[in-house]
Structure 1
Amino acid sequence: MVSKKKIKLDRRKIALCMIGSSIMAFGLYNVHSLSGVTEGGILGMTLLLNYWLDLSPAITGFIMNAACYLVGWKLLGWSFILYSTIAGFTFSASYAVFEQFPRLWPGLADMPLTAAIVGALFIGIGAGLCVRAGGAPSGDDALAMSICRVTKSDIRIPYLASDLLVLALSLSYLDLKRIAVSLLTVVLSGQLIGFVQNARVPQAEG
């Protein structure tokens, strides 16, 4: 049972969640949705639904994230859920804003390998900032942590399972080459998330 004691949010962490989720939305709109390079988990599912049903990731991302947070809120703690909600809302709002402008690098549509690397940078850095702040930019994190809490399994297992499932479904609209580079961006972004989360920040003296 989650404690109902008052939660005090840190302004610096709120800023990190907002900056990180905005970076992710920027990358998803300007790189992933244009180039055919997808992501695993909820991010990849928003692109899948965008392709087949023409549903905006701004809407589907918010709905799926909210559902995952609802499932996990009792196990993950209030501060995690609150920071995650801030990140999720900012992602959807930012994507909705970016949709009002033309994409910056239309040539990436013909450079899937480059798009995979560039996309991984945006997703990895953006998500890493949110995780560093103690929140989750996507409901994948909340769901994976909930599964681990219940099953006592390694957290990498539900993460990998969701990524592989979405990539497999994405075969319905992407060829094997695109799926291969998508797998590359999933691996690279995962490494970047860990690096940003654990990076040491020099403390000012005096």
Structure 2
Amino acid sequence: MVKKLAVIGFGSTMIGIGINGFILPFHLINGGFFGISLLLNYLWGLKAGITFIILNIPVYLFAFKSNPLYFYNGLMGAVISGMMLEILVPLNGTIQLPIMSSVIIGAFIIGIGVGVMLRAHVSPGGMDLLALLLAKWSNVNVGVILLAIDAVIITIGLLTLQEPRLFYSLLVVSIVGLLASIITFLKSVKFYMN
């Protein structure tokens, strides 16, 4: 349990740093419920961390019925990730980098956070939990499923905000999905080698 909390704390902190320090300053969006929360923040000023936690409720109710272990792990991951997103809001605007550097560094930091949590079978949010459940049922890598879901969210964001800069969000999602895939894949390689 202590190890799981340490993984959640580390992963949530990385996600909070990546989003607040590198993604928010350029009004970009990430994938999953983080992306939807950021989109609602840009459109109506809703608090991203609180919105994120609320959006997760239906998925967690579904997870509770289908896989209670994922439910408990995911609930901890989502609440702590949402809290870290709010706690680290002061980072917004403190790091001054060109947009491309910010996108790459931010996505890398978020990808490590998401990947480490998924590797421990902890979901940092509802879409990730949904992807974990789908991966379990379909044997498709969780990172690939996340990339597909996130691409849809970014496309909706592009159509809604009509902001060309959001094309950078596709790069964010690609890097996060790639890192999550690599980190979760490395665990399965290690598992089969033992």
Q: How many residues align structurally?
A: 186
Q: Which stretches in structure 2 are left out of the alignment for 5+ residues?
A: none
Deviation at 1:184, TM superposition (A): 1.2
Give the CA RMSD over aligned residues: 2.5
The residue aligned with 1:47 is 38
The residue aligned with 1:104 is 94
TM-score by length of 1: 0.78
Deviation at 1:64, TM superposition (A): 1.0
Farther-moved stretch of structure 1 (167-176 vs 40-49):
167-176
Farther-moved stretch of structure 1 (42-51 vs 85-94):
85-94
CA distance in 2, matches of 1:79, 1:98: 28
More helix by share: 2
Deviation at 1:198, TM superposition (A): 4.1
C-alpha contact (below 8 Å) 1:13/1:134 kept by paired residues: no
1:82 to 1:102, Cα distance in 2 relative to 1, 3 A? same
Matches within 5 A, 1:1-206: 10-75=1-66, 77-100=67-90, 103-105=93-95, 107-108=96-97, 111-147=98-134, 152=138, 154=140, 159-171=146-158, 172-173=160-161, 175-176=163-164, 178-199=165-186
Question: What letter matches 1:135 in structure 2?
Answer: V
Farther-moved stretch of structure 1 (52-61 vs 77-86):
77-86
Q: Which stretches in structure 1 are left out of the alignment for 5+ residues?
A: 1-9
Deviation at 1:70, TM superposition (A): 1.3
TM-score by length of 2: 0.83
1:173 to 1:112, Cα distance in 2 relative to 1, 3 A? farther
CA distance in 2, matches of 1:187, 1:141: 15
Question: What letter matches 2:58 in structure 1?
Answer: A
Identity fraction in percent: 26
CA distance in 2, matches of 1:50, 1:144: 24
Question: What letter matches 1:70 in structure 2?
Answer: L
C-alpha contact (below 8 Å) 1:46/1:57 kept by paired residues: yes
Structure possessing the higher radius of gyration over alpha carbons: 1
